[in-house]
Amino acid sequence: MQVQLRIRRFNPEKDEKPWWGEYTLDNVNPNDSVLDLLHRVKWEIDGTLTLRRSCAHGVCGSDAMRINGANALACKTLVARLIKEGATQARIQVEPILGLPVVKDLVVDMEPFFEHYKSVKPYFINNSPPPENGRERLQSPEDRARYDDTTKCILCAACTTSCPSFWADGRYVGPAAIVQAHRFIFDSRDEGYAERLKVVGDTFGVWRCRTVFNCTNACPREIEVTKAIAEVKRALTTGKV
Amino acid sequence: MSSIKTHTFDAVIVGAGGAGLMAALYASKGAKVAVLSKLYPTRSHTGAAQGGISAALGNLEEDRWEWHAYDTVKGSDYLADQDAVDILCQEAIETVIELEHMGLPFDRLPNGKISQRRFGGHTNNETGKPVMRACHAADRTGHMILQTLYQQCIKNEVTFFDEFHVVDLIRVDNTVRGVIAIEIATGEFHIFHSKAVLFATGGWGRCWEVTSNAHSLTGDGAVVCLRRGIPLEDMEFFQFHPTGIYKLGILITEGVRGEGGVLLNDKGERFMERYAPTIKDLASRDVVSRAIYLEIKAGRGIGGKNYVHLDVTPETVNKYLAEAGETRRIDRAYIEAKLPDIADFTRTYLGVDPVKEPMPVQPTAHYAMGGIPTNVDGCVVIDANNTVLPGLYAAGEVACVSVHGANRLGTNSLVDLVVFGRRAGRHMAEYCQGADLLPLPEGAADEVVAEFERIRNNKGGVKPYELRKRMQHTMTENVGVFRTEETLSTALTELRELRQAYQDVEIDDKGKRFNTDLLEAWELGCLLEIAEVTAVSALARKESRGGHARDDFPKRNDEEWLKHTLCHKEGDSYRLDYKPVVIGRYQPKERVY
Ligand SMILES: Cc1cc2nc3c(=O)[nH]c(=O)nc-3n(C[C@H](O)[C@H](O)[C@H](O)COP(=O)(O)OP(=O)(O)OC[C@H]3O[C@@H](n4cnc5c(N)ncnc54)[C@H](O)[C@@H]3O)c2cc1C
Ligand code: SF4
Ligand code: FES
């Protein structure tokens, strides 16, 4: 099939403002991913097209983009999912994720995103000595299950950059950071919940969430992001984990 | 080049996967450390590892690290250094516990201990039966290791230079003085002046057409060292996993065949019956990969293409179960319960429901057993006498300790990363305390800056993509799952042509900022070089051992070949040299499973 690929382009060394690049690709297989199409443009047509990618199968979090208006990983989005079955032609539009400064083409500055991430103390805090026998701390399978969903996060930023509250005010820590906080707050071995709740309970924490569910829809790991945020909100209100 | 920004640290770590991060945690306890990574640390390919990390914890049944060691040596086809293997398996236990103490969310047993499961090649040495040794966190053990180590680095305020692409090592005689890196966002060169340097840059599966490896795995660290006079060890040994998703290379676990799935060719024949009459589809990885390759070569790939079918539909599985006189039958619910991740991958990428249709698979280039030679403290050794180059370190997949020899056992790479990453980090901190910061040589960056300017401004008209495609094709055809003198010579001829053609590579992006066109072209140079080293090493080794299967020399030959290959770059050519294998408790014997 044939795909008309429309890509939002911007090279700060050349362009005064962003523009749309139009590329016609023939012999596209519906099972090709959007990343495959972008690679074809970059390798065969225009080497200046710039994007991040690495694993190519949805586990590294490099290539979150706005594809036909919705955030997704380019490598996990197949053409087949964007077209009507049997279509021989399609238009696909790709833009950088919103709310973070564009560095070049589809590459955005991830630093603000990682700063929010780091602000929630995304690491295990336990100052009690580990078991004397030199072995693992124990945790029941039920306790382990409580934070299983939020351990899947690959920090792709698809959720945070689909959130209207984050677009409105970039100081909001955003869903991804809250997902990370959740992963530790609900870990029975962790002792840092008081410190973390302080951060996520702050003016730019969970209360900015308006339960729009964009984040949950955007998450390529199918994490129930909005639910995780709700659980953190509840922990704040009830003081109980 | 006085305009180049210079940073000074005690130690520089190149790479932020499992090995680099573990080394960083330990090195930063005693030295001022910078971690440079071309990717954001959490994008590293360690995050793709699924199966598990082995350690003889014995949480479910009796296990001993000595058994783990024997399994590893046997798996290596006796090419692993047994002193290193002992350390790997002994320290695996405390290191896995340490990861748990860092917060790693392992799956748990009802009694609260870390859950363990069976994995290929890991056995109870007394009964010969599989033992539950692989510690895991769902099907994303590598992801959890990468996340946990990165989290700990944040906690311990390790200094990161994210998206800094290292392109050269500063070596003066037998000392190292630092590295040269490009800051990707700005395109500026930076010099990192240091007493010690550690490479943890991962593998190079991208030499082949189909691979389970990330686009970023282009062998940079190995090649940077090679170009600065460090030999590469055992490069002919590269593991091909038999069942990668067609074209994409994404892994499909052996578990599919364990559940009764079968491999079928274009005629619908269960061809493994011909290659391994007794255990058929469950033969070892190298045997199955070779069989698939031969079917494809004989034109029996599906529709004449280069893949076969892996069929786990209940209809097919039950037919063969009945034929074999077994009473067991499977259904949809069973597959959904046993193989949920595989089902997700094939549904996402192929629109194939494995319950209803066969999955297209082909062997996928998976893991580099060879690499930068090191001793058990991660110190790089540069000759057959294991002479240390002070201050230079390597760990993880890019290193060759050697604990994997000619064939790596599943789950043993993750162990390798954390055990030897930790040892290297520790040793490096001590080294830095006793070492002086030696001055930078005049014009340290000149050579590599000139090479980048050459690539940027070159007008030869050759597209990097075309060369990469040709390299990957010849590596797959000729330096793949099985080789002969003829195929290897063909590959070498073509690779030399490609090296010539590389001089005419022309890129589109002449700018500075985030110039991935330029960096990819440079990475292609690394891949071409690694490919050639692999072919040169493989051509010389006239035997079959582990991942190196020579059709013209089908047997292992301990008398002549129980030794490690060292490949040195000298000018434009390569020189081979060999060093003895460290044998310990286990004398080489025939490898039967
Ligand atoms: C799909 C898959 C599944 C696997 N499953 C398992 C398993 O279950 N168990 C197991 O034991 N093993 C498994 N393996 C193998 C194992 O995951 C890898 O061998 C291991 O993760 C490699 O880790 P590393 O730290 O050496 O390198 P990587 O994690 O690959 O990291 C390399 C790092 O180097 C950096 N880098 C590279 N080049 C440069 C440069 N020029 N400048 C700066 N930085 C650079 C990158 O940015 C990255 O941070 C699997 C492998 C794959 C592909
Ligand atoms: S929660 Fe999901 S969408 Fe958000 S960063 Fe993590 S993986 Fe990406
Ligand atoms: S390239 Fe890794 S998630 Fe898409």
**How large is the angle between the packed helices B516-540 and B446-457, nearest 10 degrees?**
110
CA pseudo-torsion sign B494, B495, B501, B506: positive
pTM of the model: 0.95
B6, B129 in Cβ contact below 8 A?
no
Contact B47 A78 (CB under 8 A): no
Domain locations in chain A as residue ranges: 2-107, 110-238
Q: List chain B residues with CB under 8 Å of A189.
A: 103
Asked whether residue A85 carries a pLDDT value surpassing 70, the answer given is yes
B13, B198 in Cβ contact below 8 A?
yes
Contact A134 B348 (CB under 8 A): no
Q: List chain A residues with CB under 8 Å of B113.
A: 135-136, 138
Name the helix (H) or strand (E) containing B456. helix B446-457
Q: Can you give the pLDDT at residue B92? A: 98
Tell me how close the Cα of A48 comes to any Cα of chain B, in angstroms.
5
Q: How far apart are CA B124 and CA B141, in angstroms?
A: 23
Paired tokens of B60: 């479910």
B4-28 average pLDDT score? 98
Q: What is the pLDDT of residues B198-251, one digit of tens each?
A: 999 999 999 999 999 999 999 999 999 999 999 999 999 999 999 999 988 998
CA pseudo-torsion sign B404, B250, B290, B255: positive
- Which ligand 2 atom is the nearest neighbour of the CA of A152? 7
Superfamily name and number for A2-107 = Beta-grasp domain (3.10.20.30)
Q: What is the pLDDT of residues B144-157, one digit of tens each?
A: 999 999 999 999 99
Least confident of A111-120, B11-20, B138-147: B138-147
Q: What is the ipTM for the molecules in this complex?
A: 0.98
* Mutation site, A105, A120, A124, A133, interface B, largest B CB count within 10 A: A124
Contact B349 A57 (CB under 8 A): yes
Write out the DSSP string of B203-218: --GGGSSSBSS-TT-S
- Residues of B known to be catalytic: 285
Q: How far is the CA of B512 from the centre of ligand 2 (A)?
A: 31
At B303, the amino acid letter reads: G
Is there an atom of ligand 2 within 6 Å of A72 CB? no
Q: How far is the CA of B39 from the centre of ligand 3 (A)?
A: 12
B515, B187 in Cβ contact below 8 A?
yes
Q: What is the CA angle B204-B208-B213, rounded to 5?
A: 50
Q: What is the pLDDT of residues B549-583, one digit of tens each?
A: 999 999 999 999 999 999 999 999 999 999 999 99
Quote helix, strand, coil % in chain A, to nearest 5: 35, 15, 50
Quote helix, strand, coil % in chain B, to nearest 5: 40, 20, 40
Contact A134 B110 (CB under 8 A): no
Task: Write the DSSP symbol of residue A137.
Answer: P
Q: What is the pLDDT of residues B442-484, one digit of tens each?
A: 999 999 999 999 999 999 999 999 999 999 999 999 999 889 9
Q: Can you give the pLDDT at residue B593? A: 61
Size of interface A-B (CB pairs under 8 A): 154
Contact B517 A47 (CB under 8 A): yes
Q: How far apart are CA B424 and CA B437, in angstroms?
A: 19
Q: In whole numbers, what is the pLDDT of chain B averaged over residues?
A: 94
B52-59 average pLDDT score? 96
Q: How far apart are CA B415 and CA B56, in angstroms?
A: 11
B311-325 average pLDDT score? 93
Q: List chain A residues with CB under 8 Å of B511.
A: 11, 13-14, 48
Nearest ligand to the CA atom of B250: 1
**How large is the angle between the packed helices B516-540 and B464-478, nearest 10 degrees?**
20
Q: Can you give the pLDDT at residue B283? A: 67
Paired tokens of B133: 């040794």
Residue whose CA is at the smallest distance from ligand 2 atom 2: A219
Q: What is the pLDDT of residues B391-417, one digit of tens each?
A: 999 999 999 999 999 999 889 999 999
Q: Look at residues A31, A15, A33, A43 and name the one whose alpha carbon lies nearest to residue A23.
A: A43
CATH dotted code for A110-238? 1.10.1060.10
